[in-house]
Structure 1
Amino acid sequence: MFKVWQTYCRQVQLSAETVEKVFAAAQQRTLQRNELLLQEGQVCRYKTFVLTGLLRTYGQDADGSEHILQFSPENTWTVDAESYDRQAPCAFNIAGVERSELLLWTKATFDSLMNELPELQSLSQRLISGTVHSSRHRLFSALSDPPEVKYEAFVRSFPDLLNRLPLHMIASYLGVSVKTLTRVRQAQWHRG
């Protein structure tokens, strides 16, 4: 697991010292398929890095319909930021789509590491900024783009997730019905 972490850290240009310190402070956890890492109403106590596998962050309607906000494949971070920052109950769930190997840091531990390691603070700020930008683009797309454009953007952004996700999860992420997504995919397949 350390090698996966080390490879990621090299890509984001963290020093060997930071790589070791941050890894040593982490808790390792295996999450099974469909197992919850965080359940609506709980307080998000951990910042999580996905070493292997795939997670989804989602909310549910009163009728049980699932609305997926985010997928977190390997080499990505996940957290319910509002709950984590405020240490208040969350409105969303985080669960395994696949069996996943994770690194977790408590808020106190991660805050301490960021105070001690300026390059970790800088990485955290870059990740937050990137998340804000992509969330704004995704929200605008959800409000303005037809299903075909949403699906094409998903394929461009997450080509390696297409074969790992069931159709109903992709539809939920895009905010369309499975029937609509099936129609869009068939039309694209026929075009080309």
Structure 2
Amino acid sequence: MTAAFETYLRSHTSLTDAEIEQIVSAAIPVSLQRNETLLQQGQVCRHKTVIVKGLLRIYGTAADGSEHILHFALENGWAVDAESYHQQTPSQFTIAAVEHSELLLWTKPDFDRLLKDIPELNVLSEQLVIRSNFSNRKRLFASLSATPEEKYEDFVKTNPDLLARLPLHMIAAYLGISLKTLTRIRHAQVRR
């Protein structure tokens, strides 16, 4: 299971083979079935997670029971509720598998030790945080300013691989629109 992650590290960092071995040996391999949760709302996020194979969603549930998806994490992506993880407080979100997923997890003490011992991993971690912040700001602005049609067009353009892997209700929950609106948009595109 670790070969794909090792390839990812080699292509995105200048880590030595010994450092990669140190990182991988500290990981806990986990398999999730479709819809199985990794983190339940109210639990403390105790692991950093990389997706080796599969697809996860990070979402919150509103008082009316509706799901609001914040993020999809796919192969070579990382999944964590950063606030819960760093502050060790109960999470407001759930992390669950959209499809069968193979994951590598690191406990906070283990990952903190790796960050201290391997400066290059710390650099990668900072780059991932920066990239995530930029992506979240762009998504927030689009959420506030774009029409439903523009949101869907942007999703199709930036996530073409996800279209076939996600049910429509999850795409709608990610875009912040109703399933009815998403269906209408898709039918209008087909007619064009």
Range class of TM-score, shorter chain: over 0.9
- Alpha-carbon shift at residue 14 of structure 1 (Å): 3.7
8 A contact 2:2–2:52 mirrored in 1: no
- Alpha-carbon shift at residue 63 of structure 1 (Å): 1.8
Return the alpha-carbon distance in structure 1 between the equivalents of residues 19 and 114 of structure 2: 9
- Alpha-carbon shift at residue 160 of structure 1 (Å): 0.6
Residue 13 of structure 2 corresponds to residue 13 of structure 1: yes
Match of 1:78? 79
SS at match of 2:161: helix
Match of 1:4? 4
8 A contact 1:167–1:178 mirrored in 2: yes
- Alpha-carbon shift at residue 158 of structure 1 (Å): 1.0
Return the alpha-carbon distance in structure 2 between the equivalents of residues 179 and 11 of structure 1: 42
Q: 2:148 is aligned with what amino acid? A: P
Match of 1:65? 66
**Residues 6-15 or 33-42, more deviating:** 6-15
Match of 1:31? 32
List aligned pairs for 1:1-192, cutoff 5 A.
Answer: 1-15=1-15, 16-191=17-192
**Residues 34-43 or 12-21, more deviating:** 12-21
Return the alpha-carbon distance in structure 1 between the equivalents of residues 14 and 29 of structure 2: 20
TM-score normalised by L of structure 1: 0.97
- Alpha-carbon shift at residue 27 of structure 1 (Å): 0.3
SS at match of 2:64: coil
Would you identify which runs of 4 or more consecutive aligned residues in structure 1 move more than 6 Å?
A: none
- Please list every run of 5 or more consecutive structure 2 residues that lacks an aligned counterpart in the other structure: none
Give CA-to-partner distance per residue, 1:91-147, whole Å, 9 cap, x none.
000001001000000111001000000000000000000000100000000000001
8 A contact 1:57–1:92 mirrored in 2: yes
CA RMSD across the alignment: 0.9
